[in-house]
Amino acid sequence: MAREDAENALNAMGEIARFIEEASSIIDKEEVSSFIDLLAEVYGDHRRKVLVMGAGRSGLVGKAFAMRLLHLGYNSYVLGDTIVPSVRRGDVVVAISGSGKTKLIVTAAEAAKQVGATVVAITTYPDSPLGKLADLVVKVPGRTKHSRLDDYFARQILGIHEPLAPLGTLFEDTALVFLDGVVYALMERLRVSEDEMRSRHANIEL
């Protein structure tokens, strides 16, 4: 049983890795370029902020991305933290939701739009409520917790069998790796060294 458990875990790990590799070949390069351009435009202007938001595990992905933005030198925040300042015109809001239907995120994105912030949706469904209100959509494939085999991109990459990763795992893992790739692209564009990033890393940790 222990050996079978290990095989199940490693098989799932391999399938997730293959999914992410395939996803990297179908994510639209123009969408990615526009996203990086937008973030590069904000860089260095300390009057402008980047607010990242997501619910559940997507929120954890957002926190990881916001942390790396901070290391790069951005004024980055995560929705829900007590120290988040007000969002204003010129700020960038990155909303992460596989389904694009998460009410909390859609409502927060609507509020950001009303004050003139630029909203970027990281989602599998551009035609979702979040996708429709966003100024920019980056379509990241993944199976979401709201659906099964009706996920076109998951079906396209994995075939018609049920993936080994439950609920929204494929979207969340793919979004995490994609956003780490964006961080690397920003390091190159902005010429920020790893030493500079390390200097902004927390030096007091629990």
Catalytic (active site) residue 172:
yes
Instruction: Check 15, 21, 110, 172 and give the catalytic one.
Output: 172
Listed in sequence order, the residues at least 6 apart from 145 whose beta carbon sits closer than 8 Å to its beta carbon are: 98, 99, 167, 168
Which positions ≥6 away from 136 have C-beta within 8 Å? 31, 34, 35, 38, 118, 119, 120, 121
How far apart are the C-alpha atoms of 199 and 174, rounded to whole Å? Answer: 28
Q: What distances in angstroms separate CA 83 from CA 76, 124, 178, 187, one per listed residue? A: 11, 30, 27, 26
78 bridge partner residues: 52
The separation between CA 49 and the C-alpha centre of its own chain, rounded to angstroms, equals 17
**Six-digit token pair at 81?**
């933290």
Taking phi over 0 as left and psi of -120 to 50 as alpha, with beta for the rest, 189 belongs to alpha
**Is the CB of residue 83 less than 8 Å from the CB of residue 107?**
no
Q: What kind and span of H or E run contains 170?
A: helix 169-190
Enzyme catalytic residues: 172
